[in-house]
Structure 1
Amino acid sequence: MSIRVLVVDDSAMMRKALRQILETDLDIEVVAAARDGEDALKKAQELSPDVITLDINMPVMDGLTCLSLLLEQIPEVQVVMVSSLTQEGAITTFEAMELGAFDYVAKPSGTVSANLHIVGRELIAKVKAAAKRKRRRPGSRLAGRNASRSAGRPPLGANRAERGDHSILVPDRAFRKVVVIGVSTGGPSTLMEILPYLPADLDASVIVVQHMPPTFTNSFAKRLDDYCHLRFSEAKAGDKLARGEGFVAPGGHHLVLKKNALRDDVLIRLTSQPANTLFIPSVDVTMHSVVELFGKRTVGVLLTGMGSDGADGMVAIRQAGGVTIAEDASTAVVFGMPREAIERGGAEIVAPSHQIAREIVKAVNRW
């Protein structure tokens, strides 16, 4: 059965480009294209597509308004946002994810780009993943998400107000372990089922490696910081690891660690090497760097994503005596990266996303 897709964009050139890209895959059928949000709502009701690719900036009705109405009127439909590579685009994209969008792809540049084929592979993969989620037996992921939310995720900005200003010095920042989390497709929503439930007094520093464009990671880190008890920021060269601090690897750079030779500190270093990895930042590069310094005091977590990035790193962590946690197939949007880790023997614990925060806390306290 083919995947029925509705393409929504105010640019005729972009609608044509998206259609051409999607129809290169024999499993996908573009049933129609819509020029704005109102047109999209009408055609979605008429055609019942499996997946909608939705532009954000449109006349008549913008993408966020359209998304809200789509999910209200056709709750089973899956929506992949098509976002511009700008700071504003990143912020709006994460708002769309909070509303219930499945995932996003970022346009290489501008509203209409002659280089859209660069994201073609990603777009096709995410549309297929979205359709698979729609056709999966309902209940597993949704039930888990509702269970997590019932645990009381704080409203946006609540934790920042509770914690006060980041510049306040906290004594005794020594920490027990480093938790390194790798994630790709479906990552933003999955991380929001985990990170807000880690306690402020977690005896570890947390590093998140999410495959994401450079202009998106800073906005994503700020969003995590608003929701989480831990302090989160986009990692910068020279940042010092500390207990209760979380770092998001910046897009376009690998995040590695180095020991401060003058003091007993561990610092973050950003590098473009190795340049031949499929993703930059790479989960494997960061995991290997962390386990090299921390050995059995490393907790590795591998979540939803295509491919195998992080699987070798998980094996290395487990061989060093650290704790490794992989997301279970029942909740993984794309069971690629976790499956590879499991099959290679790199996963000591396999758990659905809504249980992983608890497993991280147990792992940190184990040593």
Structure 2
Amino acid sequence: MIDKLDIIIADENPGFVQLLKKMCGSINGINILGVAHSERMLIAKINHVNPDLIFLDLTSGMGGIRIVDTIRKINSDLNVIVTYDPKIQDSDILVKALEMGVYECVEKPGDIESRQYNEFRLHLLTITGLLRSRKRFSNRSALNYKNKFFMPLKTADKPADKSSVPVSSMRKIDVVVVASSTGGPEILSRIFSILPGNLKVPILLVQHIPVAITQFFAKSLNDKSELDIFQASHGDEILPSKVYIAPGGQHMTVSKPDDQGKRVIRLNSRPPVNSVRPSADMLFESIARSYQGNILAIVLTGMGEDGKKGVAAMKDKGCICISQKAETCVVYGMPRAVDDAGLSDESLDPLSITQKIVMMVQ
């Protein structure tokens, strides 16, 4: 018998509510517990039922950004996905929600014939699969999982804990590359608020995030960090102590060094890789072509396997890979892919990852 996924829809727009109801009705195993048209209604429902997932619109009638904090205070384990209309919603608010622990911001589809509708439905299918797995493996304490969305493992299949095994020493690190997806903004906010501003290497980051949000996400990270963090542009020279974030909707790669050793950012709009654009694999593979070794790769929380092939390519040149520890991931997907492939040298929690970066590049 399939596990039912209990959902609350919190939205003022009756048209979108009906559209989402129709979408959920087309997916086996989803149970809509109720609809909340106001902040007051949402709080009342959360206090009386136990949903697995809330679809939340951050309009003023729903409480705006403060409702995220309210939900966390009522039940910190509630899974929240923000749905937004790009013509209305302030991107700064969406970034703040992500950094507060909202796991996804998904653009509302216009109608059932739109591209966004199919993308939304596919995303919902993935999320429901993860949450049903969580319900089937409900004894989370036995597995030592504290994350919200995760790929449950049978005890016998649980990857070996590498956190106590030190990575191999390298002469130096020339570049740090980071891959991140679902749950990443909150983790990255923590990491970059701690890293010192005098790192002697560049950091290149692929975060799967909606197109309209990337530059605001970069600004938010920059405001918290001593490093210079920004959305990358085509032709940017790659320099130490700077963090280059791949723009949403574009792949980011690195050129080969010129006669003076200068490398620059290259952007392109080629088809998605691993169903995403930007793709960590595309960045990592270009890093393998551009650098002759001394690469530090960080693979953080996220769905899917983006980054695995790229890490393998960088390993051939001389790369140390650190994956985020399973029990600290929002989604143990991308880190699990490199763990299972034997490509991770260490599996660490976010604070330890931050400390390792400082230790290896200073």
- With normalisation by structure 1, the TM-score equals 0.81
1:53 is aligned, of 52, 55, 61, to 55
- Number of residue pairs matched by the alignment: 331
Structure scoring higher RCO (CA < 8 A, sep ≥ 6) equals: 2
Mean Cα displacement is larger for which, 74-83 or 125-134?
Answer: 125-134
- Deviation track 1:65-124 (CA, whole Å, cap 9, x = no partner) reads 3223222233332222112335953211122234443332222569xx794332122234
In the other structure, the counterpart of 2:301 is: 304
Task: Provide the residue aligned with 1:191 in structure 2.
Answer: 188
Could you tell me which amino acid in structure 2 is paired with residue 333 of structure 1? Answer: V
Compared CA separation, residues 317 and 86, structure 1 to 2 (3 A):
farther
Higher mean displacement: 69-78 or 45-54: 69-78
CA separation of 1:95 and 1:139: change in aligned 2, threshold 3 A: farther
Residue number in structure 1 paired with 2:68:
67
2: distance between equivalents of 1:356 and 1:87? 37
Other-structure match for 1:329: 326
Q: Decide whether the 8 Å contact of 1:10 with 1:58 is kept in 2.
A: no
Contact 1:17–1:116 under 8 Å retained in 2: no
User: SS state of the match for residue 335, structure 2?
Assistant: helix
Q: 1:128 to 1:333 in 2, by over 3 A?
A: farther
- 2:285 — aligned with what? 288
Percent identity between the two aligned chains: 27
Give the drift of 1:275.
5.1
Structure 2 residue aligned with 1:222, among 192, 212, 219? Answer: 219
Residue 264 of structure 1 pairs with residue 241 of structure 2: no
8 Å CA contact 1:9, 1:58 repeated in 2: no
Q: Report the CA distance shift for 1:22/1:359 in structure 2 as closer, same or farther (over 3 A).
A: farther
**Which amino acid is the alignment partner of residue 293 of structure 2?**
K
Q: Are the equivalent residues in 2 in contact too, given 1:184–1:211 (CA < 8 A)?
A: yes
Equivalent runs, 1:99-110 vs 2, <5 Å: 99-108=100-109
Offset of 1:22 from its aligned partner?
3.0
Q: Which residue of 1 aligns with 2:4?
A: 2
What residue identity is the alignment partner of 1:51? Answer: L
Corresponding position of 1:204: 201
How do 1:1-367 and structure 2 match up within 5 A?
A: 1-59=3-61, 61-85=62-86, 88-108=89-109, 115-126=116-127, 129=130, 132=134, 136-137=140-141, 176-259=173-256, 261=258, 263-273=260-270, 277-365=274-362
Provide closer, same or farther for how the CA distance between residues 103 and 114 of structure 1 changes in structure 2, counting only shifts above 3 A: closer
Q: How well do the aligned residues superpose, as a CA RMSD in angstroms?
A: 2.8
Q: Provide, for residues 26-49 of structure 1, a one-character-per-residue CA deviation record: whole Å limited to 9, x for no partner.
A: 343211111121211122222222
Contact 2:107–2:116 (8 Å) recurs in 1: no
Distance 1:218 1:318 in 2: 31
In the aligned structure 2, how far is the partner of 1:114 from the partner of 1:282? 20
Equivalent position SS for 1:313: helix
Structure 2 gap segments, 5+ residues each: 148-171
- Provide TM-score, normalisation by structure 2: 0.82
Q: What corresponds to 1:165 in structure 2?
A: none
What SS is found at the alignment partner of 1:190? Answer: helix
Cα offsets for 1:280-318 (capped at 9, x unmatched)? 101000001112111312111111111111001111222
Shift in CA distance, 249/126, structure 1 to aligned 2, threshold 3 Å: same
CA distance change for structure 1 residues 141 and 234 in 2, over 3 Å: closer, same or farther? farther
Q: Distance in 1 between matches of 2:303 and 2:54?
A: 20
Contact 2:195 2:354 in 1 (8 A): yes
Structure 2 vs 1, CA of residues 333 and 223 (structure 1 numbering), >3 Å: closer, same or farther?
same
Superposition deviation, residue 274 in structure 1: 5.2
